[in-house]
Amino acid sequence: MSGYPSPSALIADARLRLDKLGRDVGVLVVEGPSDKSLLQGRYVPVGQIIVAGSKSLVTGAHEILGDDPESGLLFVVDCDYDVAAGELKGGDCLVITENADLEGDLVALGLMQDVVLQILPDRFPDPDAIAEDVVQTAAHVAEAIGHVRCHCRIRGPKIGFGRLDYSRLLAAFERRQDPKAIYRFFAKSCSPAPAPGEIASCVQEGGQGLRVCNGHDVVALVEVVLRDRYEVRSRRLGNLDAMLRLALDERSFRRWSVAGRLKRWQSRTGRKILALELTS
């Protein structure tokens, strides 16, 4: 992903933006274009979001500026297990997702179930029960994968997470209904190879349930469960991530912890950053 050459260059561009907007307006700095597409227009005015291009640029810029309320900049990043690793801490001007990533926050708001209901064909007699089963199954497997991701982030063994075979991971989990099946699946490719018990120890460090789930894992697994278990064949299965972001309506936005942090920053600095009023 292209971005700024340095955190200092990002800050310089953001300050130019602030000069044009005025002292009563703030600028939100996010990691990537999907973050911008989620927020811009409906929740943050057009022109008040800057895409840094990487998490390190966002955190690097915040490290330079600190939590100075006069900076006019508010930074938002994914947690990505960095909090569990002791390498990331939120601040007055640095907002961290409550779950592993932004998509994980949206799943925790219940929006994935709404998306599944949109995709399910009319032939299913109880779509609500099926949507719940799909999301719960995906979340159980994603939780086990999340423990592995957390273990690797904290302990350091190298695993390539780029192209996971989610169908095989789902099948491995469902044969035993045991997260250790997922741990064993990944342990084969670790160097050095950890015991499943070592990975399980990250349950305490990284959390449980949706909090430890990578949102992209949940989305990918929802697609697999719909396709393999319920034989859903829809072109929209390939667009679940976009549908999840579009499902963030005003009511859900108001319940989102990130939105609450944006509101508090706005109140504290006197700079407008939200496109709508949020009541307490």
Residue 1 has a pLDDT of: 47
From 43-47, 65-69, 97-101, 190-194, the region with the lowest mean pLDDT: 190-194
Residue 226 has a pLDDT of: 95
Residue 133 has a pLDDT of: 96
Residue 139 has a pLDDT of: 96
Q: Is the pLDDT reported for residue 128 higher than 90?
A: yes
At residue 229, the 3 state secondary structure works out as coil
- Chain segment 183-227, per-residue pLDDT in tens: 887 776 665 666 656 666 666 666 788 999 999 999 999 999 999
Q: 73 φ, ψ to 5°?
A: -115, 135
Residue 74 has a pLDDT of: 98
At residue 49, the 3 state secondary structure works out as strand
- Chain segment 16-49, per-residue pLDDT in tens: 999 999 999 999 999 999 999 999 999 999 899 9
Distance of CA 57 to the CA centre of its chain: 17
| Per-residue CA distances from 33 to 2, 3, 29, 128, 148 (Å) | 11, 11, 11, 32, 27
* CA atoms of 16 and 19, how far apart (whole Å): 5
From 82-86, 177-181, 196-200, the region with the lowest mean pLDDT: 196-200
DSSP strand pairing (73-77 vs 27-30):
parallel
Residue 235 has a pLDDT of: 81
* CA atoms of 62 and 93, how far apart (whole Å): 8
* Structural domain spans, the chain: 7-100+253-269, 110-247
Q: What is the DSSP letter of 25?
A: B
| Per-residue CA distances from 42 to 46, 55, 91, 249 (Å) | 9, 23, 25, 9
